[in-house]
Chain A
Amino acid sequence: GEDVEQSLFLSVREGDSSVINCTYTDSSSTYLYWYKQEPGAGLQLLTYIFSNMDMKQDQRLTVLLNKKDKHLSLRIADTQTGDSAIYFCAESRNRDDKIIFGKGTRLHILP
């Protein structure tokens, strides 16, 4: 079956790097996503990676994919208070296919 797992909470000091981890079970996953949900807001797509890539970097965000272990991570460099949110890992097999989401990791920023 299809399943996406991620830890529920992460606390990081302001200025440090945050690393949010995710594992998935579907070996047919082609697209892997990271979404951000700020309090009271809808989901915002942060970044995505294709399964034939190992890494993708976008400003402060770095996504690492270990396809063999089905492990995905999101690293946020120089974490700011504005990064406080719930981060969802997700996967889909194809374009326009349904997206399977994890339960979300709540990132808490310590002063």
Chain B
Amino acid sequence: SQTIHQWPATLVQPVGSPLSLECTVEGTSNPNLYWYRQAAGRGLQLLFYSVGIGQISSEVPQNLSASRPQDRQFILSSKKLLLSDSGFYLCAWSVLRAGDTQYFGPGTRLTVL
């Protein structure tokens, strides 16, 4: 069966510090991968999606970047965090051309102070 992991579960970082959140998927090959953010009091916002290794599409201009160094690994990064980067970050996957939904990881709660 497929499993999606995210870490860390919670993170508190100072403004201006770097960020690296990792997401890995097990039990499937060549998944579509997604990074979402849920800011306090707001809905989910799609940040990045990837259809394959090294292929990243950005949905909104921002302070964050994403990379996909391996088929089942998706990394969300920032060189310098802003206060507005605080939120709940969710990674998700879907099966290319076969699945009809996205499956979400447990999420990372990021607090920038």
Contact = CB atoms under 8 A, between A and B. Distances in A.
Interface of A: 4, 31, 33, 35, 41-45, 48, 88, 90, 95-96, 98-104
- What are the 7 A-B residue pairs with the smallest beta carbon separation, nearest first? A101-B44, A103-B43, A43-B104, A42-B106, A42-B107, A42-B104, A101-B43
Contacts, number: 55
A105 B41 CA distance: 11
Contact of A48 (B46, B49, B98, B101): B101
Contacts of A103: 41-43
Interface residues of B, number: 28
Interface in B21-73: 32, 34, 36, 41-46, 49, 59
A50 to B, nearest CB: 9
A88 B45 CA distance: 12
19 contacts: A31-B101, A42-B105, A42-B106, A43-B92, A43-B107, A44-B104, A45-B103, A88-B43, A90-B44, A95-B94, A95-B97, A95-B99, A98-B46, A99-B102, A100-B46, A101-B36, A103-B41, A103-B43, A104-B43
